[in-house]
Amino acid sequence: MLAYIIRRLLYTIPLVFGVALIVWVVFDSGILGDPAQKLVGKSATPEELAALRADLGFDDPAPERFGRFLGDIASLEFGRSREFKLDVVEIVARGVGPSLALTTPAFLLATLIAISLALLCAARRGGVLDRAIVVGAVALMSVSSLVYIIFGQYVLGYHGPFPVAGFAYDARMAWYLALPWIIFVFLTVGPDLRFYRTAVLEEIKQDYVRTAKAKGVSARKVLFVHVLRNAMIPILTRIVVVLPFLFTGSLLLEKFFEIPGIGGITVMGVLRDDMPVIRAMTFVFAVLFIIGNLLTDILYTIVDPRVRLQ
């Protein structure tokens, strides 16, 4: 297992290098626009742009600039935000806590509800309850996230018991996050439920289920011990790939509810054309996706011994 993990970690090195190359080409190479212009905005004079290029080394040869960019990434140096007047690393560090406070409890609750309903659908497959739950899941998926947010703020916030927006770093945090948690659950339960239900139903059709029932194993044990365990690979795939992105929060929820997390910071950076923030978030999102796939591959070997460590 240790050798397999080391090999998978080594495989991620060229992927991260490729991501860094793409980010550098898009933001700093000059192929898609003057990077100095992106940093200071359109109001800068030619003299100011020339001075900035010389100061930041944008006139140096491309290999030298890319090597310097790799060094900055290795030292977690992503530049200084023009909008927030802070180093990007400091902005990200401040935003991780609120993002996790928003996404982690809501994600755990949504996952628990979705898996429980998927097992219930499998146990009552083809029946009225199964069809009703599936129709409800499709209905939840058919509604835009903006509708949930605006409806929730107006009905449950402005005319209801919850705050419309805001955040607190004390005991009031849960009160401010209650409405975003509810909306997050409604946004994610529908697609998660349909995915988990499909995974469980695929296992119920297998021969080992019929064999277990023929031996007199109870339906409850077949469902929760045999079927659920063998359905864990696709379930884990969906869960683990999402886990790293809990650090980045939910962009729309953080923006509309004024939660100072990474998602809201990213949206603000895009709206204000804050290039250091956009560049850093692009790289971070890509690396988190790579980490999610790495964790998925490792957990495969733990959940299912049929997966060979090769």
**Separation CA 238–CA 226 (nearest Å):** 20
Query: Smallest Cα–Cα separation from 61: which of 29, 17, 22, 34?
Result: 29
Q: Which residues contact 142 (CB under 8 A, 6 or more apart)?
A: none
Triad 141, 147, 150: Cα angle to 5°: 145
pLDDT of 251 reads: 84
**Residues found in the chain:** 310
pLDDT of 293 reads: 82
Output the DSSP codes for 168-188: -SSTTHHHHHHHHHHHHHHHH
Secondary structure letter of residue 80 according to DSSP: B
pLDDT of 83 reads: 74
pLDDT of 180 reads: 93
Count CB-CB contacts under 10 A for residue 61: 9
The pair of structure tokens assigned to 127 is 């029946």
What superfamily does domain 103-272 belong to in CATH?
MetI-like (1.10.3720.10)
The pair of structure tokens assigned to 229 is 């365990």
**Separation CA 98–CA 144 (nearest Å):** 24
Domain extents for the chain? Answer: 2-73, 103-272
**Separation CA 141–CA 306 (nearest Å):** 34
Q: Which residues contact 282 (CB under 8 A, 6 or more apart)?
A: 23, 26, 27
pLDDT of 31 reads: 66
- What does the pLDDT profile of the chain (310 residues) look like in tens digits? 777 778 888 888 899 999 988 988 887 776 666 666 666 666 666 666 677 666 666 667 778 878 888 888 888 888 888 777 788 888 888 888 999 999 999 999 999 999 999 988 888 888 898 899 999 989 988 888 889 999 999 988 888 888 988 888 888 899 999 999 999 999 999 999 999 988 888 888 888 888 888 888 887 788 877 788 778 878 888 888 788 788 877 888 988 998 988 888 888 888 877 788 888 888 888 888 888 888 877 777 776 666 555 5
**Separation CA 45–CA 29 (nearest Å):** 21
